[in-house]
Structure 1
Amino acid sequence: MIRVVATTPFEGQKPGTSGLRKKVTVFQQPHYIENFVQGLFDSLDAFEGETLVIGGDGRYYNREAIQIVIKMAAAAGFGRVLVGKGGILSTPAASCVIRKHEAFGGIILSASHNPGGEHGDFGIKYNIGNGGPAPEHVTDAIFERTKTIREYRIMEADDVDLDALGIARVGDMVVDVIDPVEDYAELMGELFDFDAIRDLFASGFTMRFDAMSAVTGPYARAILEDSLGARPGTVMHGEPLPDFGGHHPDPNLVHAKELNDLLMSDDGPDLGAASDGDGDRNMIIGRGRFVTPSDSLAIIAANAHLAPGYKDGIAGIARSMPTSGAADRVAEKLGVKCYETPTGWKFFGNLLDAGLATVCGEESFGTGSNHVREKDGLWAVLMWLNILAVRRQSVAEIVAEHWETYGRNYYTRHDYEEVDSAAADALMADLRARLDTLPGTVINGLTVERADDFSYHDPIDGSVTTKQGIRVFFTDGSRLVYRLSGTGTAGATLRLYLERYEADPIRHDLDTQDALAGLVQIARDLPDIEGRTGRSAPTVIT
């Protein structure tokens, strides 16, 4: 029986870069998640009898939210739901399942790399039939509907046993509880040379993979340890926990410090890797060598042909605007185009669907390819393993050779988290107002060549996206980028990106922060970050 429930709108149910993210306590309010899901269904057409994929990253409130979504999908008229056992589906695995089973779309319950637990964050987002995040015209329609909603519909039914594989029914809708790893692992086996990677591990190669008590643990154990023969215990923090074991599930040098310290020791493993809350981000570290996300993208693009799934080469590269220009140099040498898009994986979807790009990456530890329509943390790790298995060099040697060939883009990101939103907005507005007067200005010995507010013209659908980050270019080739991130739930996150290109191999072994010290000072002084925000230093440096 379908129950119609009267409701009133909640303010602020606007999906951001990766869906709607709020504190758990916000989502737990009566009718809150129901309003959003009804707004989503009301914004879609022609899904009666179709298949919907549902899953999440296992964080606190994941199971309860999934039961609500299942019952509302039944009331809305979907014919079938595919849901991961235990409510688990990593974001890239959800994209894989949507694509393989030709589903109408999918609902992913996740706040990605944000903290979990009862007092942590929660999130929900919709992915369309190509497996990728809903484009802005869809998320805008959802938001508009949430502002006027007066009722929602939900099936009165018992909860589905999410821990039992197999078929259940909610009303007339079939619910299929599936193995969350199976389809994804099968796809990885088609893309990479698993035999070569098995030989690598059999030769004594060692690694540690930090799943950060998040969703990638079951995937990493099944593929790395069970299938590829990595030593038992290779996967650390491998059990998904509602509070991520108290960890901040963001794979960077601050939150994955235990892994980084291990790799920087003399007796550390050959490779260290980590993934985030929902499995779409990655961090790569070799013994004694951290690989920046920008360099990782460039090295993957330059070596992708070593993996069977990419043996014919790549059609193009796409990178988010704040990501360094390292991938551009690879694209130039390969004779393919490198597309510069706004931050947010959804902007890669049209390029991937049109066959214009094969490998994509963004500055915030996200890398992926056309195999799905999401960034994919474990895919990046397997690509690195495939490269290492073929080249039989260390991570440090591969990075050094890459810099010798292409030059080094010294690059860093400074994050100022939970800054007062009004102060952050004022800082950006002031910078924006000064764009026309900055060219020709000399700051601490560097001359501003040009400055702009990045806009993106989609080459496929012609859409235009504006105000995606303020860029300041200097005559020596250095670059600054200022952005406000849309992934937090409290205050604002001011992201500052700094980049300087160095062609001379003799100068490739400088410490990144030392190499960029002068630029860092300019970047802080130009908008007066300390004066406007009260922050004398960033929260996180990567």
Structure 2
Amino acid sequence: MIQFGTGGWRAVIGDGFTKQNIQILARALCGKMKDEGVEERGIVMGYDRRFLSKEAMQWAACVFAAEGVRSYLINKSCPTPLVMYYVEKRGFSYGMMITASHNPAIYNGIKVFTAGGRDADESQTRQIEDYAAGVELPVKELEYNKAKEQGLIREIYPLNEYLDDLMGTINMEVIRSSGLRIVLDPMYGVSETSLRTILQTARCEVEVIHDRHDTLFGGRLPAPSAATLRMLQTCVTDGHYDIGIATDGDADRLGIIDDTGRFLHPNEILVLLYYYLKKYKNWQGPAVRNICTTHVLDQVAEAFGEKCYEVPVGFKYISAKMNETDAVIGGESSGGLTVRGHIKGKDGIYAAMLLVEMIAVSGKKLSRIIADVEEEYGLIDMEERDYRFDQEKKQEILHILLEEKKLPELPFEIDRVSYLDGSKVYFTNGGWVIARFSGTEPLLRIFCEMPRSRDAVNICEIYERFLGLSR
């Protein structure tokens, strides 16, 4: 059964992620394209370094070929932002990326992009699910080499086009004169070639760790977090580097280590970049964040006479609101962000280069810029907790939080409660707490941001007792 979450369709390899299901999804999308009359242009596809990613791309292409729809396959593992870029710049109606992003190594999946290089929205993915439910087995396919001979599969590698476009938007000259020293950690993923090329073109000194192809991601989750970037921290501090840059498995999210070895939470990165674009580059426009992301971004926006818009989790909502409001930046607490004028989805490579540009333009250490922002707007202090559950427990939590809409006894005055995405409580002191189910993994997530960290911890513990949760 094909079911899309907030970040595409993802499933455990050999369980849900099988050749047959990949073929079903491809046939479903092919049928949708034909009914919409957009099959003539074809579809572009890419893949990451996960187990079976390349094979899955080829299996899907063989299904499209059997239906007479041409596929343009990026013939080396590549960042997800490259596929989104190519869909937008070359006017494709659809694109696909074989990836499970930051999920554990046992997962793989498919992200679908629509015209303009956007993440397929909920109505689009629901339609694909409906088409998939009607696919008859066995799914027709054309042998790969025959499809190539007939011109129905074309292999491409547009990385240079993407890099040239990206470098055209970054102040490469000021970076060249800064003499920055940088450590990269692709986390065994696909960003190394792109970031190394750009940084060395800008005359930065670059050291790279974890760059080999490893489908198990070194035995770690391919998500840049404080827990997974300890080696990067050590490299930065021991080598006295200016910044450490990490990206997740498909390079649409990033993690940062500052010059002191401190891990920067994605919330801080989002706030820093909006602050930089407003203060140093004088860009005009609001910001967009999802419902689980820091409200300090709202304070920065207000200080510059702008508004910060809140949307549900899922980058499709961020890109849609950015398009509607002409926002400067949009992002989420899980590490994904994008900036106006670039692609309509997450790009960890572009975000990393903006941070490098910020250091060069400001002439300050990254830790000093962070201190400046904290002095002006206060600390970002968020407690985040994840809880696994069985189906029975999930139904119990859903009933309590979203059907009966019950809340625990909370020690702070409540301003309002939102059910836009999960259950979010806003306190009159500016703090908030949200409990929601992950759209990519079987997890309940609780986020709490309060003026004092101990209060955030306390509220999370109150929710744990209220819902009978354990970690």
**TM-score range relative to shorter protein:** over 0.9
How far apart, CA to CA, are the structure 1 residues paired with 2:284 and 2:16? 42
Task: Give the TM-score of the pair, scaled to structure 2.
Answer: 0.92
Q: For the structure 1 residues 437 and 271, does the alpha-carbon distance in structure 2 shift closer, same or farther, using more than 3 Å as the test?
A: closer
- 2:389 is the counterpart of 1:399: no
How far apart, CA to CA, are the structure 1 residues paired with 2:320 and 2:426? 28
Q: Which letter does structure 2 place at the counterpart of 1:481? A: I
Coordinate RMSD, CA, aligned? 2.4
Q: CA offset at residue 487 of structure 1?
A: 1.1
- 3-state SS, counterpart of residue 144 of structure 1: helix
Q: For the structure 1 residues 314 and 237, does the alpha-carbon distance in structure 2 shift closer, same or farther, using more than 3 Å as the test?
A: farther
CA contact (8 A) 2:73 2:153 kept: no
Q: For the structure 1 residues 228 and 425, does the alpha-carbon distance in structure 2 shift closer, same or farther, using more than 3 Å as the test?
A: farther
Q: Which letter does structure 2 place at the counterpart of 1:138? A: Q
Q: CA offset at residue 377 of structure 1?
A: 0.8
Corresponding residue of 2:443 = 493
Task: Pick one of 532, 535, 538 that aligns with 2:468.
Answer: 532
| Aligned ranges 1:58-457 → 2 under 5 Å | 58-79=49-70, 81-86=71-76, 88-116=77-105, 120-151=106-137, 153-159=139-145, 169-173=148-152, 175-179=154-158, 181-201=159-179, 205-225=180-200, 227-232=201-206, 234-263=207-236, 265=237, 268-288=240-260, 289-304=262-277, 311=281, 313-354=283-324, 356-370=326-340, 371-416=342-387, 418-432=388-402, 435=405, 441=409, 443=410, 446-455=411-420
CA contact (8 A) 1:38 1:153 kept: yes
How far apart, CA to CA, are the structure 2 residues paired with 1:25 and 1:174? 26
How far apart, CA to CA, are the structure 2 residues paired with 1:82 and 1:30? 20
Q: Which letter does structure 1 place at the counterpart of 2:469? A: T
5+ residue gaps in structure 2? Answer: none
Q: For the structure 1 residues 30 and 340, does the alpha-carbon distance in structure 2 shift closer, same or farther, using more than 3 Å as the test?
A: closer
Q: CA offset at residue 435 of structure 1?
A: 4.3
Q: For the structure 1 residues 349 and 487, does the alpha-carbon distance in structure 2 shift closer, same or farther, using more than 3 Å as the test?
A: same
- 3-state SS, counterpart of residue 426 of structure 2: strand
Q: For the structure 1 residues 303 and 72, does the alpha-carbon distance in structure 2 shift closer, same or farther, using more than 3 Å as the test?
A: same
In terms of mean alpha carbon deviation, does 400-409 or 519-528 score higher?
519-528
Corresponding residue of 1:8 = none
CA contact (8 A) 1:213 1:247 kept: no
Q: Which letter does structure 1 place at the counterpart of 2:430? A: G
Q: Which letter does structure 2 place at the counterpart of 1:19? A: G
How far apart, CA to CA, are the structure 2 residues paired with 1:433 and 1:74? 46
- 2:434 is the counterpart of 1:481: yes
Q: For the structure 1 residues 357 and 421, does the alpha-carbon distance in structure 2 shift closer, same or farther, using more than 3 Å as the test?
A: farther
Q: Which letter does structure 2 place at the counterpart of 1:171? A: Q
Q: Which letter does structure 2 place at the counterpart of 1:378? A: I
CA contact (8 A) 2:80 2:97 kept: yes
Task: Give the TM-score of the pair, scaled to structure 1.
Answer: 0.81
Which has more helix, going by share of residues? 2
Q: CA offset at residue 355 of structure 1?
A: 5.1
- 2:460 is the counterpart of 1:523: yes
Q: CA offset at residue 138 of structure 1?
A: 1.1
- 3-state SS, counterpart of residue 64 of structure 2: helix
Question: Paired residues, what number?
Answer: 467
Q: Which letter does structure 1 place at the counterpart of 2:203? A: G
Corresponding residue of 1:18 = 7
- 3-state SS, counterpart of residue 528 of structure 1: helix
How far apart, CA to CA, are the structure 2 residues paired with 1:447 and 1:27? 44
- 3-state SS, counterpart of residue 519 of structure 1: helix
How far apart, CA to CA, are the structure 1 residues paired with 2:172 and 2:133? 50
CA contact (8 A) 2:464 2:470 kept: no
How far apart, CA to CA, are the structure 2 residues paired with 1:495 and 1:431? 13
